[in-house]
Amino acid sequence: MEKPFAITLDVGSSLANKTGSWRVERPVYIDRLPPCNDACPAGENVQGWLYYAEAGEYEQAWRQLVQDNPFPAVMGRVCYRPCETVCNRAQLDEAVGINAVERFLGDQAIEHGWSFEAAPPSSGGRVLVVGAGPAGLSTAYHLRRLGHAVVIYETGATPGGMMRFGIPKYRLPRDVLDAEVERICALGVELHLNRKVTDLPATMRDDGFDAVFLAVGAQLAKRAYLPAGDSAHILDAVSLLHSMEGASPPRLGRRVVVYGGGDTAMDAARTARRLGATDAVVVYRRTRERMPAHDVEVEEATDEGVLMKWLSTITEVDEGQILLEQMVLDDKGFPQPTGRFEKLDADCVVLALGEESDLSLLTGMDDVEIADGVVQVGPDLMTGHPGLFAGGDVVPAERTATNAIGNGKRAARTIDGWLRGETPREPARHELAGFEHLNTWYYADAPKTERPRLELVRRTSTFDEVVGGLDETNALFEARRCLSCGNCFECDNCFGVCPDNAVVKLGPGKRYEFDYDYCKGCGICMVECPCGAIVMEPERA
């Protein structure tokens, strides 16, 4: 009997399995840059440490975090959260509470006594850091981790800079700040307090430093001329906040007017309320939309009873009273006088008109350029004087603690390269993981966890911390709200939906790969990837 006609394929042969000639394009796994990482002034790998936090691996999450930022407990309290303003999750429901999880990890580290890994063997380099504020301490931390000997000269009796003298205790408890500064010093950073540098060239020459990082901050209040009577009570916000670290807070009276519109003005007004002022009024020349203070500062100030007087300027100060002139904005947004005046009762006027740096220690250094009160530096943060770098508030940059910390990390890398005779290479920048790349059907609605807040009646009578932290349950929930934008988190979707079994699992933490011998290029994996970590590329010839 004749056998029926049949075709037999050898599944082991390459000719049977190759599907490249069928495909127009092939899937490829990629990594995109999460918006939170991109927006962080401290340069944190936010998505990286959230990955460990959502698995409950808190110490590992903290260790990932402090590779970039040695102050998670501090920044978890005072950072203005630019990462959250760009979080893709905000377009789904609400942004991930990144800052709240960061604070939780920082507090866990303090509670459990986690310490940094030991510094590597000495490189032979010796660096002076002038100033123990956020930029100086961050630079010292990263330089020490790179193996360099670091010495800090600090003018004051305590370290922390504007973290201590510019941020009130109700926002940043001092035991938290002290714990994170002490951890940096424990790495072997040499801290000298009450050591004012008055002649930097002489210090560089006599003390034998190979490089210097200038981070003296901006702790001098800007002044403005105000006609005032002999009995007028006027002080500046910097002095007010600085004095809160002493044993005797100043007497402000019951009616306090704060002149200015930045975060320092808000802190001064809120401090005045806590010192007993029944009326605390912020006078500002422009409108709320043009106010430099961050929204959260303004909201918390108004919650605590601080009043805002927009489009007004102080023209005269006398005992118990000030004279205000109403302003109007011109076509370019600049305030212009109207000739209309009003009087306002005031026992005290606090000037919050900005801060500037004391750069007298640079006298005689003609190769260091100073313009508009700040030191001019190159892309590597080096001044015109070889080996002298500068950062934080003394260079043109946004004046926030988070930015200063990131500035310090960047300075440490460039100083390290300069000491070693190398040019640091910037890592390749990945494509931004925009919301349009995500498939959000995968994620369930999960509203943001709100941090507890101190009741209003206690806010104006004590300096207790206003914003509380998350407990472990809430922190874990919040970390798990992360969408892992642009980067595979091994959800198994591509593995499960592939009709050709062309996705190969490589094991926990190793992600997947495509077996192109089986892949037909249908693109289902890309469509079903929640985080946008797969793209289709034209098939190679």
Q: pLDDT (tens digit, 9 = 90+) per residue, 47-82?
A: 999 999 999 999 999 999 999 999 999 999 999 999
How far apart are alpha carbons 325 and 330 in whole angstroms?
16
Please give the tally of structural domains in the chain.
4
| Contact (CB, 8 A) for 129 and 150 | yes
pLDDT value, residue 396:
87
> Are residues 171 and 138 part of one domain?
yes
Angle, CA 365 vertex, CA 360 and CA 366 arms, to 5°: 115
8-state DSSP, 440: G
Those residues with Cβ within 8 angstroms of residue 291's Cβ, 6 or more apart along the chain or in another chain: 261, 262, 284, 298
Q: Any idea what the CATH number is for the domain that residue 156 is in?
A: 3.50.50.60
- Domain membership of residue 258 (yes or no) is yes
Percent of the chain predicted with pLDDT > 90: 79
Q: Is the pLDDT of residue 231 over 80?
A: no
Instruction: Identify the band that residue 541 occupies on the pLDDT scale cut at 50, 70 and 90.
Output: low
> Are residues 162 and 136 part of one domain?
yes
Tokens 């956020």 locate to: 134
> Are residues 264 and 214 part of one domain?
no
Going along 404-526, which residue ranges are E strands? Answer: 503-505, 512-514
How far apart are alpha carbons 308 and 300 in whole angstroms?
12
Q: pLDDT (tens digit, 9 = 90+) per residue, 339-386?
A: 999 999 999 999 999 888 989 999 889 999 999 889 999 999 999 999
What are the Cα distances from residue 325, in Å, to 308, 310, 351? Answer: 15, 11, 17
Percent of the chain predicted with pLDDT > 70: 96
Q: Is the pLDDT of residue 85 over 90?
A: yes
Read off the pLDDT of each residue in 85-113 and give the average, rounded to a whole number.
96
pLDDT value, residue 21:
59
Instruction: Identify the band that residue 19 occupies on the pLDDT scale cut at 50, 70 and 90.
Output: low
Single-letter amino acid, residue 126: R
Query: Between 446 and 77, whose confidence is greater?
Result: 77
pLDDT value, residue 20:
54
Q: pLDDT (tens digit, 9 = 90+) per residue, 479-514?
A: 999 999 999 999 999 999 999 999 999 999 899 999
Angle, CA 432 vertex, CA 430 and CA 437 arms, to 5°: 120
pLDDT value, residue 224:
80
Tokens of 42: 């401290």
How far apart are alpha carbons 131 and 395 in whole angstroms?
14
> Are residues 347 and 377 part of one domain?
no
Q: Which domain holds residue 303?
A: 232-353
How far apart are alpha carbons 311 and 316 in whole angstroms?
16
Q: pLDDT (tens digit, 9 = 90+) per residue, 401-426?
A: 999 999 999 999 999 999 999 887 77
Domain boundary among 353, 382, 402: 353
